[in-house]
Every structure is written in structure tokens, then in C-alpha cells.
A and B are shown apart, each in its own frame.
Chain A
Amino acid sequence: MLGLNKKDTTLLIIVAALTLLAPFILNPFPADSALAQFNAGYPDLMQRFVIFGIFAIGFNILFGLTGYLSFGHAAFLGVGSYSAVWMFKLLSMNVIPAIILSVIVAGLFALLIGFISLRRSGIYFSILTLAFAQMSFNLAYSVLTPITNGETGLQLTLNDPRILGVSATADGSIPVTNLFGIEMRGTYEMVAGPWSFQFNTGYYLCAIIMLLAFYLAVRIFRSPFGMMLRAIKSNNTRMSYTGLNARPYALAAFVISGMYAGLAGGLMASMDPLAGAERMQWTASGEVVLMTILGGAGTLIGPVLGAGFIKYFENIFSKINDNVLHSWFSFMPDGLEDAMVALVYPFIGKGWHLTLGILFMLVVIFLPGGLVEGGQRIMRAFKRRKPDETSSETTTEPAE
């Protein structure tokens, strides 16, 4: 189907089902229960899952296939966000032109940086990309403030000279981003017994775009071009001895992954029209590297899992405070309750970084292939128990 083999089609269908049903899957706990704290099915976080998924998928096209480790990918995401917000300010609140512009601008920026950085390989390449991204960040934060609005981040105002559309709505508010009139922030809420599920327009737009991006990534992975990229990773020297120049291929991969990052940036701005400079900082670049490795570099689904994992901890664990803990353990006797709270407290709320750091280490120590390998192991264990069942091989396949 769609030019994919059976295995990839299954994978695509699974991913599609997961993303489209995310509002149900991510809200497994009744809204009033203590465990509702762990529900992640609200629009903002769901949007972040898929947007960072796109970012990581794109990064993986470069890193997973060619092995070039870019440490400056956040710059493209940032540039994409800025272009999108400028488009909202100047042209219209429709998200389509904004997203298109952000992809184009990020692509051009990636072409420039990639052309220079790809003259070197290995860690020298990583440091070149890092240097470009840090320069962009530092300048965006300070001297480029007229374009980027510095520390605060570029945002919409009531005086934007919007060509197609109004500067302010009739009731004196800033208009909201939309897709031909359909507002991105619109949400349907469905209540089923004690559960509630939120269906957000913006999320579904992002989800559909992510599915397209994912499909495109599968096609790239399976194409002769993808094969060429793998060749760069496995043996660059041998490739050049056969008379092939690797650089145009690597550059193409770099630009494609830069455009993915720009797309993610554009979507982010479309969901919430503000572009902060921190999006370009090295920590943001590092984050996508971590997402990809954590999920499983070179696998198709891995980066998306990694992105979800990190964003989940950032948004859910940071919000658990000692009050919540006390309510969880309130069934225990007082002394025990306090002891439990004291024990768990360093790992939640302001300690969410600690939990994340520990999990990074555990995953990489025990699951060398990332979360995907964890999935495969579970799958294998499952299969051993039912040896007669004929199912397809594991859902993913590492590049190397």
C-alpha cells in the first residue's frame, strides 16, 4: 500500500491509529481520580508530542542514516518559528502560508549551514553546527532583537499590519491562528462517565502533518537515496573510492532534516504564536539528539517515542508537588505518609530533571538500542510464549 512493503504499512497504520486515537490513549485515568495527574491528553501536550515527533523524525534522517551528528538543529526550528510568526504578523492568520514559509526559510538556512559544515566530518562537523546554532541563539537574544524580540520572544500585538485580515478583532483581541477559518485552538470535549477526552483542531492538523512526514521518512529510508545515505555512515571512504561523491547526498539529507525542523517550528508557532529564542539554544539542540538516541537512532518509530518520553516528563512530572504527593499517600498512617513523601519528593516537581537524568542512564545502560529495543524485547518475550503465532517481524529495524 502507498508503495510500502507489508511491514512498513503495518507500522504506518499503527502510528496512524496511535496518533488519531491519542486523546483516548493519553487520558486513561478518570478526571477525578488521583492518577489523573498522569493524564497527558490535553491539547498543548498532545501538540508538543507530535511536533517534537516531527522534529526528531527529521533529525533521524540525518543522524540515523548518515551518522552525521548535528548539534545545532534547534537553529532551524527557531528560524522556522520566527518566519511563521512574522507571517502571522504581516500576511494572515492562516497557518498554511506560515508553515510553508517556515519550511522554506529553514531549508535555505540549512543549505547554507550544511554547505559549510559538511566540509568536515565527525566531531568537527558537530562542533561547526553547534557553533552556527549558538551564534544564531546569542544574536537572536541580543542584537537581533528588532527581528526576534529577544528574551521575551516574538509575539503578536494589536498593531500588527496584517495584509489579509484585521489587526485586532471587533472586541479588541488579537485574532487567533486558523486554517481557512477553522480555529487552531478549538476543542471538543467528550465526557464518558468519569472520563473526559479532548479533541483539538490544532492537534489533528499537527497529527496529520506528522503522519505525512512519517510516511515521507519511511519512503526516504527505503529509497535508493536512503541506501546511499546509509553507505555514507557505514563506510564513507569506500564510497568515495567507488567514484561517488558523498557530499551532495549528505547535504540533501541535511537540508531535508533542516526542513523537518522548520516544519516543526512553524507548527509550534501555529499552535501558539510565540517564538522564543531559547528554542535555538544548544540545550534545545541537545534535546533532539537525546530524543533520537533515547528512542533508538536509525529506527523509524524510535525518535517519536523518544520525543514523547522527554516531553511527558517535562510536562507531567514537573507539575507534581508535595501537596499532590500527600494526597496520594494519605491512606497511609501519618509517619509512613511523611516518609513516603520525603522519599519521592526529590524526584518530582523541581526534581524532574533528576528523574530524567536517571532514566537516560538506565535506558542507555540496559537498552542499548533505545526504547525501540525495549519494545522489541517485550515483543520477543511475548512471542516465545506463543511460538505458534505467526506475526511479522518486529515493527522496526535499526539502520545499522
Chain B
Amino acid sequence: MDAIILQILNGLDKGSAYALIALGLTLIFGTLGVVNFAHGALFMIGAFCAVTLSKILTLSFETVDETRTDFLGNPLKVKTPYVEAWFGPETGGMLIDWAVPLAILFSIPIMIGIGFIMERGLIKHFYKRPHADQILVTFGLAIVLQEVIKYFYGANPIPTPAPDALTGSFDFGVLLGFDPNAVIYPYWRLVYFVFAAIVIGAVFAFLQFTTFGMVVRAGMADRETVGLLGINIDRRFTIMFGIAAAVAGLAGVMYAPINSPNYHMGMDFLVLSFVVVVVGGMGSLPGAVLAGFLLGVLESFASMNEIKSIIPGIDQIIIYLVAIIILLTRPRGLMGRKGVMED
């Protein structure tokens, strides 16, 4: 039982990442009808916003310590971060420690900006082009973005820890009446789940309860008619692209402490997030979220030893297997609308 609860938690946690990426991807599909292969790269850039902020905060000046030597036998250069020098080791240290949560604030304007530039500078010209062209151009962009990151940060993963206060794990089982230490779960992963829920809720509320959201939803359903009503739908779509980029970026920022970011993490998620979106059904935001959590949980269960011993290798293929089964039993995924991206 405790094992199952743990795997459900793991599944929800993985599902949060899938759902956030798929949500942004669906916003772009649904609103703009663009197949965005650069979406994984946006997630990656989000994670590197966290890396960059912690690098900025740890920018240091060097002082030579004559008493110690470095690996070549020269006097050791000791680095002191500027923030520690300015605000004192206490406050400065705390700023550095809390780099990842701070990066949330730092990343939102950056990601929205990147989204705007991408849409206005590139994607805009591809609305009327075939999907194949969109794939080629966004894939090219994804390669360029990740190579730029690789150029500046190298290929190795960069550790980006969560704040000290949130690095431990939480004895979840005691709440549910299990023995102590039976079900423990890392704080940061719980934070990630809650954070994802808030972001998803905020996006839905925005689309549901604001006039802006209403127009966008109308535009998703019938772009032409909305345009005929004299509403500037294009400008709103640009904003939606910015929001989608920000959602992907936030997913990335918060993911950085879970797994050290590297330049190809976006590509690792790209294929998976497309599967999630399609399983959820094209053009359906709730579908994308639902499919994200569903696939996350199923993936976690498939990696349990009890299940692997019955079907070896099931954890390698579960996502794809489930995708095939769902697409064959439900022609448009879980909640897809008729006629979206079907030809």
C-alpha cells in the first residue's frame, strides 16, 4: 500500500511537468494552429533562467590567499560573491540559497519576451504555411536555442539546488496513519506539484473568467468569425504565445532542482509532450492536463518491480503503448475536438 501511495505521488509529480508543458503546447496548437517543436527548448530555457540567476547571484570577485595553493601550486584565488560583500554573508547567502524561487520572478518577463519575439519575428509568418514547414522551422529554432545554451553553459548538467529549507523530505505516511518513514517524499517535489496546480488553475481561470480569455476561446473555436466582429485577434494570439512560453519556462525553472538542467533536456521532453498533447486530444486544454497526469501516474506504476517482473521492459514502452491504445479506442484522444489537426 505504501508503495502504491509513493508511486501515485511520483506519478502526480511527473505528471505535473508533463501537464505544464502540454498545456503550453496546446495553447499554441489550439490558438495558433502551429506545431511548435521549439516548445521543449522553451522549457529548457526556463530551467536555465534559474541557472543564470544563481550564476548572477554568485558573481564573485577574487582575492588571493597566500596561505593556500591551487592545483598548480600557485596561490589560491578565493572567490567571494558580490552579493555577500554588499549585503553581508547572512542576507547574501540567503539570496543565493533562494535563487530558484527568485528565478520565478526573473523568468516570467524573460519568457514572455522570448515568446513575443518568437511569435512576431518568426511564427507569425508561418500561420498559413503547411505544418511540415512549421515543424522544420521550429525544429531548426530548437536546435539553435539549445546550441546557444550549450555554447555558454557546456554540455554537462549544472547543479541548481533548491533552498536549504526545502531540500529535505517530508514524512507523508504519518499523516495517513502509516509507520514513520514508510512514505516519505521530498519537499521540493511536493512544492512542484502544488506550484503546477496553481499555474494550471491560473491559466484556466484566466481563460474562463476574463473577457480576454473569452475572446481567445472564441478565437480558438472560430477565428474567422471573431475577426469579422472587428476584434484584433492577432494581438491576443501574440499574448497567448507569450503566456504559453511563460508556462513552459516556469515548468523549467521549478524543475531545475529536481534534475540538474542540461542543454538537451528540452529535446528529452519534446517527444513525450507531443504524445501527451495528442493523447489528451488536439485543441483541448483539460485533455492535455488530464493526459499529462494520467501518463505520469501510469509511467510510475509501470516502473514498479512487481509489474516489471511480469512484463519485462514495460517501463520502457508504457507511455507509447498507452498512447496507441487510447488513440485506437478514442479516435481524437481523450477530449479532442473534431477536425483539429486531423488532415
Docked-complex contact A354 and B132, CB < 8 angstroms: no
CA distance A358 to B139 in the complex (A): 10
B110 within 8 A of A: no
CB of A72, distance to nearest CB on chain B (Å): 10
Instruction: State whether A364 and B151 are in contact (beta carbons under 8 Å apart), knowing that A128-B324, A139-B313 are contacts in the complex.
Output: no
**CB < 8 Å neighbour of B313 from A143, A351, A353, A354:** A143
A339 within 8 A of B: no
A282 within 8 A of B: yes
Binary contact readout B117-156 vs A (1 if CB under 8 angstroms, 0 otherwise): 0000010010001011101110111111001100100000
CA distance A293 to B134 in the complex (A): 10
Docked-complex contact B151 and A124, CB < 8 angstroms: no
A294 within 8 A of B: yes
Instruction: State whether A124 and B320 are in contact (beta carbons under 8 Å apart), knowing that A289-B135, A293-B136, A357-B144 are contacts in the complex.
Output: no
CB of B282, distance to nearest CB on chain A (Å): 6
- Scoring A121, A294, A360 by chain B CB atoms within 10 A of each residue's CB, the highest score goes to A360
Contact segment of A129-137, A205-213, A253-261: A129-137
Binding site of B, secondary structure by majority: helix, strand, loop or mixed? Answer: helix
**CB < 8 Å neighbour of A123 from B140, B278, B321:** B278
CA distance A359 to B136 in the complex (A): 10
CB of B262, distance to nearest CB on chain A (Å): 15
Count contacts on A: residues with CB < 8 A to the other chain. 44
**B307-339 contacts to A (CB < 8 Å):** 312-313, 316-317, 319-321, 323-324, 327-328, 331-333
**CB < 8 Å neighbour of B143 from A120, A141, A282, A354:** A354
Binary contact readout A91-116 vs B (1 if CB under 8 angstroms, 0 otherwise): 00000000000000000000000001
Docked-complex contact B140 and A361, CB < 8 angstroms: yes
Docked-complex contact B342 and A286, CB < 8 angstroms: no
B343 within 8 A of A: yes
**A311-348 contacts to B (CB < 8 Å):** 346
Contacts of A130 in B (CB 8 A): 271, 274-275, 320
Docked-complex contact A124 and B144, CB < 8 angstroms: no
Docked-complex contact B320 and A121, CB < 8 angstroms: no
CB of A365, distance to nearest CB on chain B (Å): 7
**CB < 8 Å neighbour of A124 from B122, B317, B327:** B327
**CB < 8 Å neighbour of B140 from A135, A358, A368:** A358
Docked-complex contact B323 and A127, CB < 8 angstroms: yes
CB of B172, distance to nearest CB on chain A (Å): 31
Docked-complex contact A124 and B133, CB < 8 angstroms: no
A119 within 8 A of B: yes
Contacts of A67 in B (CB 8 A): 343
Contacts of A134 in B (CB 8 A): 271, 317, 320
A142 within 8 A of B: yes
Binding site of A, secondary structure by majority: helix, strand, loop or mixed? Answer: helix
CA distance A16 to B83 in the complex (A): 68
Docked-complex contact B341 and A123, CB < 8 angstroms: yes
Docked-complex contact A138 and B317, CB < 8 angstroms: yes
Closest to A346 in B: B151
Contacts of A358 in B (CB 8 A): 140, 144
Contacts of A346 in B (CB 8 A): 151
- Scoring A124, A142, A290 by chain B CB atoms within 10 A of each residue's CB, the highest score goes to A124
Contacts of A363 in B (CB 8 A): 136
**CB < 8 Å neighbour of A361 from B144, B274, B328, B333:** B144
Docked-complex contact B343 and A354, CB < 8 angstroms: no
Docked-complex contact B133 and A143, CB < 8 angstroms: no
A65 within 8 A of B: no
CB of A294, distance to nearest CB on chain B (Å): 7
Docked-complex contact A365 and B137, CB < 8 angstroms: yes
CA distance A359 to B35 in the complex (A): 19
CA distance A69 to B131 in the complex (A): 10
CA distance A131 to B298 in the complex (A): 16
Contacts of B137 in A (CB 8 A): 360-361, 364-365
CA distance A88 to B175 in the complex (A): 62
Docked-complex contact B132 and A357, CB < 8 angstroms: no
CB of A352, distance to nearest CB on chain B (Å): 9
CA distance A119 to B274 in the complex (A): 19
Docked-complex contact A69 and B132, CB < 8 angstroms: yes
CB of A280, distance to nearest CB on chain B (Å): 13
Docked-complex contact B317 and A357, CB < 8 angstroms: no
Instruction: State whether A139 and B316 are in contact (beta carbons under 8 Å apart), knowing that A289-B135, A357-B141 are contacts in the complex.
Output: yes
Docked-complex contact A132 and B342, CB < 8 angstroms: no
**CB < 8 Å neighbour of B275 from A127, A353, A354, A356:** A127
Contacts of A368 in B (CB 8 A): 129, 133
Contacts of B271 in A (CB 8 A): 130, 134, 282
CB of A355, distance to nearest CB on chain B (Å): 9
Contacts of B274 in A (CB 8 A): 127, 130
CB of B119, distance to nearest CB on chain A (Å): 15
CA distance A294 to B143 in the complex (A): 15
Docked-complex contact B320 and A123, CB < 8 angstroms: no
Docked-complex contact B278 and A124, CB < 8 angstroms: yes
Contacts of A116 in B (CB 8 A): 324, 328
Instruction: Identify 11 new A-B residue pairs, CB closer than 8 A, beyond the known A124-B342, A134-B271, A236-B343.
Output: A124-B331, A124-B333, A128-B323, A130-B320, A134-B320, A135-B317, A135-B320, A138-B316, A354-B144, A357-B142, A363-B136
Residue pairs across A and B with Cβ atoms less than 8 A apart, 26 shown, are: A69-B132, A123-B35, A124-B278, A124-B341, A127-B275, A128-B327, A131-B321, A131-B324, A138-B316, A138-B320, A143-B316, A293-B133, A351-B147, A351-B151, A353-B147, A354-B148, A354-B151, A357-B141, A357-B143, A357-B147, A358-B140, A360-B136, A361-B144, A364-B137, A364-B140, A365-B125
State the B residues within 8 Å of A (CB): 35, 122, 125, 129, 131-133, 135-137, 139-144, 147-148, 151, 271, 274-275, 278-279, 282, 312-313, 316-317, 319-321, 323-324, 327-328, 331-333, 341-343
